[in-house]
């Protein structure tokens, strides 16, 4: 059997920054050549970044992607890496935008060698659910390409192709000895395990190994978690790359030699196949590279790393010098501040305590304690004189007065942001955003909300896990125990507690998982054992919160479900999951 040395470039591109991304690919090619690789694969849309969203609709961007690909091929050759076949993900077009003729904008993979494009493959399965809108942007392709490399017929596929499966069926028919699958697959809890199951099943169906490459890095509200791997036909993992970090994974893989069968005769009704012969001579390696395996992460470490990387890349890719957040002495802003410290270092984190007449001394003390432990830049700016200035102008009471205090804080943070260039972080968690337990233009101010997709119960778990990790490393626990132990309160009126307004967070989070994430109806939730009156109240709060969130930006659609795009409900939603 030939032995292919496969290099997978698990890299972190920036959407739209073609030159930067091309440089990443060139560096990976030089490293792969130095390592003696027979083949290099880079991620889905590695040249353009993913997701390009509506940049796909801009002719000039599509042209720029196509042109940059040709230049990249020449640069690779000029770098001395011309003989290395390099798979590059990019944006292409073979027809106009919005075409319905089977041609149009393509999520493409090109194989480059000797300064030229050997072929262009167009992704077949286009995901159009959750955070994906690929039916909107792209037209599906119907031709699989195989390259004979070192005597092995290697098929090339993109991301969803491994979930949908049609190209893998054609690859099996064509007798592929290896399938490369390049991805930009965003992180969700439990997703990596689901990926592994899918890849193993496809490898078994194929009877050949799969080289699964994933992108890494944060892009807006998505986090790509890496975890690239090579999986054999028997389901064993031959090598794996780290999660949440860039890596060039180089692995020697024994692959079946080409059977030489006529591939054109093995096209299905859905896809044709074509073969490009690069090298017939069976590939060999002098000395086997030691296969590398990434450490497994605990559930909490995985979530923490996803949040940390997402925040880090949002700050760095957008060029912010620093972040600023209000530090209330509560659990949410504490966890957000520690995440920020872990992401970009405490010296770039600015925190403000904004006590009102309802703020407790322990909150101020706990905030200062945390800032001290983490080396943050911390100041105290009382808000009562400003609140009083408003009250001498307009009559405000009750909930409106609670919101006023939160908004005065928001204006202070935004003013400091405008003056000094900090990115404001909003410290809200998913549970409170879902039920609208926050103030529009108040504590929800900010350009990035690191824990917006974390339920309150998980916020507590993460706080405990992070302190435990510090203890295990012999470091100071970043979060004062008092912040974790005290009952949560917004401190916007005397003796206020979250539990005055909301059920126990374990109950609330359980209902939210069903109603928001699961699209469950009222009867489903009651059957799961939640009291009907609590279900009705929470569903009503979620629907009204949806409405309130949308108010934050006139006429826009805003979602709560998770990272990226999810739940979109009409604002005038008179249906409450309870058919009359």
The residues annotated with a catalytic role in the active site are 44, 123, 159
Residue 213 backbone phi and psi in degrees, to 5:
-115, 130
The torsion angle over the Cα atoms of residues 205, 207, 208 and 210, rounded to 10 degrees, is: 20
Are 268 and 170 in contact, with CB atoms under 8 Å apart?
yes
Pick 12 or 113: Cβ nearer a copy of itself: 12
Is position 272 annotated in a ligand binding site? no
Pick 16 or 291: Cβ nearer a copy of itself: 16
Is position 317 annotated in a ligand binding site? no
Is position 327 annotated in a ligand binding site? yes
Contact between 237 and a copy of itself (CB under 8 A)?
no
Pick 135 or 280: Cβ nearer a copy of itself: 135
Is position 332 annotated in a ligand binding site? yes
Residues 6+ apart with CB under 8 A from 81: 26, 29, 30, 32, 33
* Cα angle: 141, vertex 144, 145; to 5 degrees: 125
Contact between 60 and a copy of itself (CB under 8 A)?
yes
Is position 331 annotated in a ligand binding site? yes
Instruction: Using CB under 8 A, pick the residue from 1, 96, 129, 375 that binds a copy of itself.
Output: 129
Interacting positions 309-338 with a copy of itself (CB under 8 A): 314, 317-318
Query: What distance in Å separates the CA atoms of residue 468 and residue 550, rounded to the nearest whole number?
Result: 38
Cα separation values, 208 from 87, 154, 178, 290, 526, Å: 19, 10, 6, 21, 47
Per-residue contact string for residues 216-235; x = within reach of a copy of itself by CB under 8 A: ---xxx--------------
Instruction: Using CB under 8 A, pick the residue from 105, 184, 435, 520 that binds a copy of itself.
Output: 520
Residue 230 backbone phi and psi in degrees, to 5:
-115, 125
Instruction: Using CB under 8 A, pick the residue from 447, 507, 513, 526 that binds a copy of itself.
Output: 447
Is position 185 annotated in a ligand binding site? yes
Are 347 and 372 in contact, with CB atoms under 8 Å apart?
no
Pick 114 or 133: Cβ nearer a copy of itself: 133
Contact between 128 and a copy of itself (CB under 8 A)?
yes
The window from 201-209, 249-257, 360-368, 375-383 that contacts a copy of itself (CB under 8 A) reads: 375-383
Interacting positions 85-114 with a copy of itself (CB under 8 A): 97-98, 100
Ramachandran class of 251: left when φ > 0, alpha when ψ lies in -120 to 50, beta otherwise:
beta
Are 303 and 462 in contact, with CB atoms under 8 Å apart?
yes
Element (H, E) at 222: strand 222-225
Pick 75 or 453: Cβ nearer a copy of itself: 453
Contact between 290 and a copy of itself (CB under 8 A)?
no
- My answer on whether omega of the bond before 32 falls inside 30° of 0, hence cis, is no
Annotated binding residues, written as ranges, equal: 129, 185, 191, 326-333, 403, 432, 548
Q: Which residues are annotated as a binding site for deamido-NAD(+)?
A: 403, 432, 548
């Amino acid at each position: 059997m030939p032995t292919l040395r496969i290099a997978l470039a698990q890299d972190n591109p920036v959407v739209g920054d073609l030159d930067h991304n091309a440089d990443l690919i060139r560096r990976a090619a030089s490293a792969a050549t130095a390592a003696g690789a027979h083949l290099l694969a880079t991620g889905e849309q590695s040249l353009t970044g993913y997701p390009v969203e509506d940049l796909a609709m801009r002719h000039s961007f599509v042209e720029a992607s196509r042109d940059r690909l040709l230049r990249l091929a020449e640069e690779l050759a000029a770098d001395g890496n011309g003989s290395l076949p390099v798979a590059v993900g990019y944006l292409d077009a073979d027809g106009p935008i919005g075409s319905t003729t089977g041609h149009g904008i393509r999520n493409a993979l090109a194989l480059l060698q000797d300064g030229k494009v050997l072929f262009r493959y167009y992704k077949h399965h286009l995901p159009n659910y959750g955070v994906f809108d690929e039916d909107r942007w792209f037209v599906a392709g119907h031709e699989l390409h195989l390259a004979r490399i070192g005597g092995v017929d290697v098929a090339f596929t993109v991301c969803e192709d491994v979930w949908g499966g049609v190209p893998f069926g054609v690859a099996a028919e064509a007798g592929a000895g290896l399938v490369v699958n390049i991805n930009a697959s965003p992180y969700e809890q439990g997703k990596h395990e689901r990926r592994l199951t899918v890849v193993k099943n496809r490898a078994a169906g194929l009877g050949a190994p799969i080289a699964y490459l994933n992108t890494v890095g944060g892009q807006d509200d998505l986090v790509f978690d890496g975890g690239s791997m090579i999986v054999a036909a028997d389901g064993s993992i031959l090598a794996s790359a780290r999660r949440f970090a860039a890596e060039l994974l180089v692995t020697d893989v024994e692959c079946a030699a080409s059977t030489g069968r006529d591939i054109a005769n093995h096209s299905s009704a859905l896809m044709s196949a074509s073969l490009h012969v690069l090298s017939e001579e069976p590939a060999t390696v002098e000395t086997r590279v030691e296969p590398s395996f990434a450490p497994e992460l605990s559930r909490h470490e995985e979530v923490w790393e996803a949040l940390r990387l997402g925040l880090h890349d949002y700050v760095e890719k957008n060029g912010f010098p620093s972040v600023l957040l209000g530090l209330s002495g509560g659990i949410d802003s504490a966890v957000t501040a520690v995440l920020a410290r872990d992401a970009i270092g405490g010296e770039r984190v600015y925190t403000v305590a904004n006590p009102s007449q309802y703020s407790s001394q322990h909150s101020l003390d706990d905030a200062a304690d945390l800032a001290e432990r983490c080396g943050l830049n911390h100041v105290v700016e009382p808000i009562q004189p400003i609140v009083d200035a408003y009250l001498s102008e307009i009559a405000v009471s009750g909930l409106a007065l609670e919101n006023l205090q939160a908004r005065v804080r928001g204006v202070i943070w935004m003013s400091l942001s405008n003056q000094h260039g900090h990115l404001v972080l909003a410290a809200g968690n998913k549970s409170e955003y879902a039920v609208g337990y926050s103030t529009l233009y108040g504590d929800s101010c900010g350009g990035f909300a690191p824990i917006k997709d974390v339920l309150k119960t998980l916020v507590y778990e993460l706080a405990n896990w992070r302190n435990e990790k510090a203890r295990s490393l012999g470091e100071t626990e970043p979060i004062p125990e008092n912040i974790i132990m005290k009952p949560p309160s917004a401190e916007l009126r005397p003796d206020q507690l979250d539990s005055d307004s909301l059920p126990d967070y374990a109950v609330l989070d359980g209902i939210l998982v069903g109603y928001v994430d699961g699209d469950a109806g009222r009867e489903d939730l009651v059957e799961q054992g939640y009291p009907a009156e609590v279900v009705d109240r929470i569903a009503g709060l979620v629907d009204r919160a949806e409405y309130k969130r949308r108010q934050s930006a006139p006429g826009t659609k805003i979602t709560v479900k998770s990272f990226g795009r999810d739940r979109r409900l009409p604002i005038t939603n008179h249906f409450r999951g309870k058919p009359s």
